[in-house]
Chain A
Amino acid sequence: MPIKPVPSKWLYLHIPMLCLAYLLLLAAAGVGLLFILQERRIKRHQAVVVTSRLPSLDTMESFIYRMILASFPLLTIGILLGTHWAYMTRGRFWEWDPTETFSLVTWLIYALYLTLRWIKGWRGRQSTYLALAGFGIILVTLVALFFFSPLHPMGKMRI
C-alpha cells in the first residue's frame, strides 16, 4: 500500500509520545518485577527480606502506579494521533493491522489497571501482574511494528 506524505507536522508527535509512554511503562514493569519478587519473599517469611536493599512494597507499588498514571494520557493521545494520521493518509481511522490491535489491547489493560484501582481498590500483587501483562503486550506490539505491520513499516522507514 502506498504511503502518502503526512499532511500535518504535529501528527509526528504520534511517535515520540508513544515512545515516551513505553519508556515509562518499561520503568513500571521493571519495578513491577522487583515488587513481585519482594512481595513473594515477604509472603513466604524469608529472612533475606530483612537485609534486602529493595525499597518497601508501598514505595514500589506507588512508583508503578505513578508511572502508569503518567503514561496513560500519552498512550491515549498517541493512539488517537495515530488514528488521525491513518485517516489523513488512508481515509480510514482504524484498519486492525497488528500494531493497531495490540496497541488497543495495551491501552485496555492499563485502562483496566487504573479503573480497578480507582473503583475497586485493586493494589499490590494482582494489579502489578496486570501492569506486567500490559508491558508484555507492548513487547508484542513492538515486534509487530517492526516485522508484521503493513501500515507501520518501521523496517523501511527513512527519517
Chain B
Amino acid sequence: MPFVLGLNHRTAPVSLREKLAIAPHFLTQTLQRLKDESKTEELVCLSTCNRTEIYVQAKNRGFAREALRDALESHAGTTGLSAHLYYHEGEAAVQHLFAVAAGLDSMVQGEHEILAQVKQAYQAAQQGGFTGKLLNVLFQRSLYVGKRVRTETGLGEGAASVGSVAVGMAERIFGSLENRSVMILGAGQMAEVTAKHLLAQKAKAVLVANRTFERACELAAEFGGTAMHFEEGLRQMAEVDIVICSTSAPHAVIKPAHVRDIMAQRRGRSLFLIDIAMPRDVDPSVNDIENLYLYNIDDLQQIVNENQARRSREAALAEKIVQEETREFTRWLRAHRAGLHQGLRHNPAAPAASLPTAE
C-alpha cells in the first residue's frame, strides 16, 4: 500500500515551504538519501513552490514514515515539522495524488502547471530507478486522471476577478491584445489594477489622462506610457482600443454625443470601454452605440460571480472523477496484491461485467 507524507500551501507557510523545496538538479541525490534513510522500496518526490510531498511504497510503513519525517526536518533545519505534515495511506494517498494531478489541490484551482510537475517528478524518480511496479502504475494513472479532468471538466476556466474578466472580454472582442492600446482616464486605484492585467497580455501604449496632471505623470511613468490632460484624453479616445474610466467625477463625464463623434473617427473599429468609476463615468446609453462595448463595475462583478458558481460546479465534477478513479485504482491495487493481473479501466463508470478479469 502506498502512502504520502508532505505539506502544502494549506498546511505550511511559505517560509517553511521554501526550506523544503528541492531543486530539480538535487532531486536524484535527495531521493537516494531519503531511500537509504527510510528503507523504502519505491519513492517519488513531488516538490513545487506550493508543496513538497513524498509518495512511498514501503514494507515497514511505520518506520519509513518516522524516518522520512526526520529526514525532512533535518533538510528544513527545523524541528516541530509534524504540525504541518499530512500523512495519507492506501486509498487516501491515491485520492490525494489524483486530486493534486487534477489541479484540485492547487492554490489556483485548475491550473495546468501541476500536471507537468507531477510528470517531471515521476520521470526523475523513474529514471533514477526509484520507482517500481506500484508507483509506476500509480503515477502514470495520475497523469491520465489529470488529463481526464482537464478534458472533461472546465475546472479553473472562467476569470475570477474583475481585472481578469475585463481581459477576457477584451480578448473576445479583439483577439490577441498585442498591439492594442489602452487609455486610462482618471487615475483611480482600480484603473491601475485593471491596466496591469491588460498589459500582462502585451497590450501597449498606455495613455494616462487625469484632472491632476501630476498623478497622470506618476501612473504613466509606472506603465511606461504617456501622460496628458483630461480633455486631451477625451479627444485621443479615437486612437486607442480600450479605455478604462475611473475618474472621481460626481456625474457621467462621457456622453453619447461625444462617443458618437469618436466612433465616427474610428471608422467602425471596436472600442471597449471599462467604467470602474463609482459613481459611473460613462452614460449607460453609450452601450447602444454600434461597435462599442461598455462594461461597468457591476457588469464585470456579475460575471465574476457567475464564474465562481461555475467553478464550484466544475470542481464538484472533477472531484467526482477523482473519486471514481481512486476506486478503480484501489480495485486494481487489491487485485495486484492478491496476485491477480487486472487491467485498469479507462472509464471506471462503465459496468464492471464487461471487463476481462484475468485468471
Residues of A within 8 A of B (CB): 38, 42-43, 45-47, 49-52, 54-59, 117, 120-127
Known: A121-B267, A124-B290. A56 touches B175 (CB 8 A): yes
A residues within 8 A CB of B302?
45, 47
Among B168, B172, B269: residue with most chain A CB under 10 A? B172
B172–A47 CB distance below 8 A: no
Q: Complex: how many Å from CA A109 to CA B158?
A: 39
A sample of 10 cross-chain residue pairs with beta-carbon separation below 8 angstroms, ordered by A number, consists of: A42-B172, A47-B158, A47-B306, A50-B169, A50-B303, A51-B157, A56-B171, A56-B174, A58-B174, A124-B270
A50–B172 CB distance below 8 A: yes
A38–B172 CB distance below 8 A: yes
B residues within 8 A CB of A57?
172-174, 270
Interface stretch among B29-37, B112-120, B291-299?
Answer: B291-299
Chain A interface, >50% SS class: helix
A55–B157 CB distance below 8 A: no
Query: In chain B, what residue has the closest Cβ to A61?
Result: B270
Residues of B within 8 A of A (CB): 154, 157-159, 165, 168-169, 171-175, 266-270, 287, 290-291, 293, 295, 299, 302-303, 306-307, 310
B residues within 8 A CB of A123?
267-270, 291
Known: A50-B168, A50-B169. A45 touches B303 (CB 8 A): yes
A residues within 8 A CB of B290?
124-126
B residues within 8 A CB of A43?
287, 293
A residues within 8 A CB of B269?
121, 123
Q: Complex: how many Å from CA A125 to CA B289?
A: 11
B172–A52 CB distance below 8 A: yes
A residues within 8 A CB of B270?
57-58, 123-124
B residues within 8 A CB of A127?
268
A residues within 8 A CB of B168?
49-50
Q: In the complex, what's the smallest C-beta–C-beta distance from B256 to chain A, in angstroms?
A: 15
Q: B169's contact among A42, A55, A125, by CB below 8 Å, is which?
A: A42
Q: Complex: how many Å from CA A126 to CA B173?
A: 16
Q: In the complex, what's the smallest C-beta–C-beta distance from B282 to chain A, in angstroms?
A: 14
B residues within 8 A CB of A122?
268
A58–B173 CB distance below 8 A: yes
Q: Complex: how many Å from CA A124 to CA B158?
A: 25
Q: A124's contact among B171, B268, B299, B307, by CB below 8 Å, is which?
A: B268
A residues within 8 A CB of B154?
51
